[in-house]
């Protein structure tokens, strides 16, 4: 299997984050992609390919132009306002406050408008890194469109928390959604996104919620207790034409393999029944038992099984790297999915 990767991911590094009351080194650090890359090479998964640069048009199929302009320019605005350090939002709309229908003009107000948390900052080169992560997903998609059975887009920063016009959860551009849309724009009629990351793919859900040409199935920590909260309940099944094409599997803290696997198999069957012509896997491996910010109990061997079962879809498949923060095992767990797939 070809892996698409660029060292340009180093252009994004938030440095620190606020985690459970402490300022700590960010969990979403550049080392993550390097560890996965090292494992890809160690097991001889296949060639590692630098993605070309794509036009913004491919990203505008998913994200709004005003949001992209904001992401591109906000760091310069921050500096022009006389501020040092990185760009951080710090306040968000509460349910008692009216929803704005257009971006406000003030810098901090706009930061609030285009985000939902402060998991990650915007640095001078975050825009470039996020663009290169999207390029990585696009190049992987194009390889599959050209006849590869599957490809691995080793994207960083990750993407599934980013919506049409917002960032959050370490995510700025939704790489998996951009890939799914590219499949549709190149002859595919129906695409499924299978999100096995520990966290709910709230951005992906928001992007495709009213559409029937993309089915999203997401297994995740119940939003009643787990980030990103508010979204990811089973009752959210899509709207309008999209009714029935959004499948959420919220699971309790402490979920082990058997419970996780039961939800995975249910989602697997429903994806099969949808009869997609291409599949995108939002490949987070933070359901691992030692993940520092997650509360499921999967073991490394289970990721092999996940890969084997994904191979049972006789479909063109793009794997897109999302989360996974137990860095000692991150390479093994992510590549186990790919090796399980290849060995099936």
- What mask of x and - would describe binding to Zn ion in positions 171 to 210, judged by CB under 5 A? --------------------------xxx-----------
Q: Binding to Zn ion (CB under 5 A): which residues in 267-306? A: 284, 286
CB of 72 to Zn ion, least distance (A): 26
CA torsion sign for 204, 205, 210, 216 is positive
**Count of positions (residues) in the chain:** 344
102: which 2 tokens?
């257009």
Q: Is 10 a catalytic residue?
A: no
Q: Which residue is nearest to Zn ion (CB)?
A: 323
* Greatest CA separation for the chain: 56
CB of 324 to Zn ion, least distance (A): 7
Among candidate residues 161, 188, 200, 268, the one labeled active-site is: 161
CB of 325 to Zn ion, least distance (A): 8
String of DSSP letters for 131-184: HHHHHHHHHHHHHHHTT-SEEEE--SS--TT-BTTBBBTTBSS-HHHHHHHHHH
Please choose, out of 20-28, 295-303, 316-324, 331-339, the segment that lies near Zn ion by the rule CB under 5 A. 316-324
The strand pairing partners of 246, in sequence order, are 216
Please choose, out of 99-107, 138-146, 275-283, 321-329, the segment that lies near Zn ion by the rule CB under 5 A. 321-329
Residue with Cβ nearer Zn ion (139 or 326): 326
Contact residue for Zn ion among 323, 326, 337, 339 (CB under 5 A): 323
Distance CA 182, CA 194 (A): 16
Distance CA 252, CA 165 (A): 30
Angle at 261 between CA 215 and CA 267, to 5 degrees: 15
Residue with Cβ nearer Zn ion (54 or 325): 325
Q: At what angle do helices 126-145 and 65-80 cross, to 10 degrees?
A: 150
CB of 173 to Zn ion, least distance (A): 16
Residues that bind Zn ion (CB under 5 A): 197-199, 284, 286, 323
* Residues marked as catalytic: 161
């Amino acid at each position: 299997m070809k892996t698409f990767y660029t060292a340009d991911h180093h252009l994004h590094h938030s440095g620190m984050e606020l985690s459970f009351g402490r300022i700590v080194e960010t969990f979403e650090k550049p080392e993550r992609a390097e560890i996965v890359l090292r494992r890809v090479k160690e097991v001889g998964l296949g060639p590692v390919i630098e993605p070309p640069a794509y036009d913004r048009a491919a990203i505008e199929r998913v994200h709004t132009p005003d949001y992209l302009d904001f992401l591109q320019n906000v760091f310069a605005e921050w500096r022009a306002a006389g501020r040092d350090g990185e760009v951080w939002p710090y306040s968000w709309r509460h349910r008692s406050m009216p929803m704005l229908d257009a971006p406000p003009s003030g810098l901090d107000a706009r930061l609030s408008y285009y985000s939902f948390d402060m998991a990650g900052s915007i640095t001078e080169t975050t825009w470039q890194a996020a663009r290169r992560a999207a390029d990585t997903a696009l190049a992987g998609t194009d390889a599959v469109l050209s006849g590869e059975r599957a490809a691995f887009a080793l994207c960083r920063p990750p993407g599934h928390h980013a919506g049409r016009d917002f960032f959050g959860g370490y995510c700025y551009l939704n790489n998996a959604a951009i890939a799914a849309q590219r499949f549709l724009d190149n002859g595919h009629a129906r695409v499924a996104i299978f999100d096995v990351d520990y966290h709910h793919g709230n951005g992906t859900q928001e992007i495709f919620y009213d559409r029937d040409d993309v089915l999203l199935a997401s297994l995740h920590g119940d939003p009643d207790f787990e980030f990103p909260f508010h979204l990811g309940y089973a009752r959210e099944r899509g709207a309008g034409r999209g009714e029935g094409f959004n499948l959420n599997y919220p699971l309790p803290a402490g979920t082990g393999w058997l419970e996780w696997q039961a939800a995975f198999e249910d989602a697997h069957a429903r994806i099969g029944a949808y009869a997609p012509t291409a599949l995108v896997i939002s490949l987070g491996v933070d359901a691992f038992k030692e993940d520092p910010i997650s509360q499921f109990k999967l073991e490394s061997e289970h990721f092999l099984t996940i890969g084997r079962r994904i191979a049972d879809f006789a479909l063109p498949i793009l794997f897109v790297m999302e989360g996974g923060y137990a860095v000692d095992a991150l390479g093994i767990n992510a590549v186990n999915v790919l090796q399980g797939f290849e060995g099936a």
